[in-house]
Amino acid sequence: MSIIRVTKEFGFEMAHALVDYDGPCRNVHGHSYRLFVTISGKPSEKKGDPKKGMVIDFGDLKRIVKKNIVDIFDHTVLISGTDSNERIEALRRAFGNLLVSDYQPTCENLVADIAARLKPLLPPDITLFSVKLYETATSYAEWYASDNE
């Protein structure tokens, strides 16, 4: 049986600010992110399996990503924990739904974080192949398992 890749697309709204950045992205601003999660595996061949012929049920992949990524990041402000305590508290008061990360919240770091969160949640016979995160309509970052082994 062939190995097949399956991709599901998601969307979420999130704001962020980059600490010590030398451009306008140092200010709080938002994006409509588009996320593509691609897994790989062999379609089930088990007799009587309701998922026969599938690598993963798209609904199962949707539940995993929605619960562990979209529901966490959607309509939040993401900021680095290296920012000043004063700014972090001011943003918490202003926006309420603030996430403080241990990284600079660039698209590149966010896509790596998403991959790290998803990898252990997939069934053992399924591999996270890639994650692509669009920050704007023309700008994205990609994470590939083969580059990170």
pLDDT of residue 149 exceeding 90: no
Rounded percentage of the chain residues whose pLDDT exceeds 70: 99
Q: What is the pLDDT of residue 43?
A: 94
What tokens were used for 90? 């001011």
- Whether the CB-CB separation of 78 and 101 falls below 8 Å is answered with yes
Q: What is the mean pLDDT of residues 21-49?
A: 95
What is the set of active-site residues? 25, 75, 135
Tens digit of pLDDT for each residue in 40-58? Answer: 999 999 999 898 999 999 9
Average pLDDT over residues 143-148: 97
Q: Are residues 77 and 97 in contact, defined by beta-carbon separation less than 8 angstroms?
A: yes
pLDDT of residue 120: 97
List of long-range contacts for 84-91, beta carbons under 8 Å, 24+ apart: 91/17, 91/28
pLDDT value at position 119? 97
The per-residue pLDDT of the chain, averaged, comes to 96
Q: CATH homologous superfamily for 4-75+105-147?
A: 6-pyruvoyl tetrahydropterin synthase/QueD (3.30.479.10)
Domain borders along the chain are 4-75+105-147
